[in-house]
Amino acid sequence: MAVYEAFAEQIRKFARSADVRANLVVKKILFDLSTSVVLKSPVGDPKFWKRPAPPGYVGGRFRANWQYGGNNINITTTQEKDKTGGPTISKVTGAIPERVIGMVHYITNSLPYSNRLENGWSWRQAPQGMVQVTILEFDRIVRQAATELP
């Protein structure tokens, strides 16, 4: 009987270890996907516009509006601006919970012009969009996360 109990304990340890690793891999994938869409997001540059920018215009609102939602879509928008992407990446990845296995994850941008930007409206900075390009990188991101983590 002791042999079976020892074997059962080994199986439980393996299952816990696999669960912890799977959770880490999924978190890394979420971090990398978030980083990708944020950094690929265009930042308004009035020098290329046909019309002058409004007084006091500062680009980066679209980039700042990426949101994370766990098990539901986060439709929040903000007036914040983010030219570099760093603050938004921190905000989005900071919202990802510790336990991610078994959840549906959403990385969204609910500004009214987000679909236009995704479909090539920013032909200088993001002619192929942000999400579409990140989806093309998905397999590489998953493989990389699975091989980099212990």
pTM over 0.95: no
How confident is residue 5, by pLDDT bands cut at 50, 70 and 90? confident
Could you report the per-residue pLDDT of 64-83, keeping only the tens digit for each? 999 999 999 999 999 999 99
Q: What is the CA radius of gyration of the chain?
A: 20
Matching residue, tokens 């603050």: 87
Q: Give the residue extent of every domain in the chain.
A: 2-48+55-148
82 in Cβ contact with 60 (< 8 Å)? yes
33 in Cβ contact with 134 (< 8 Å)? yes
CA nearest to 116, candidates 129, 106, 125 = 129
Query: How far is 31 from 36, CA to CA, in rounded Å?
Result: 9
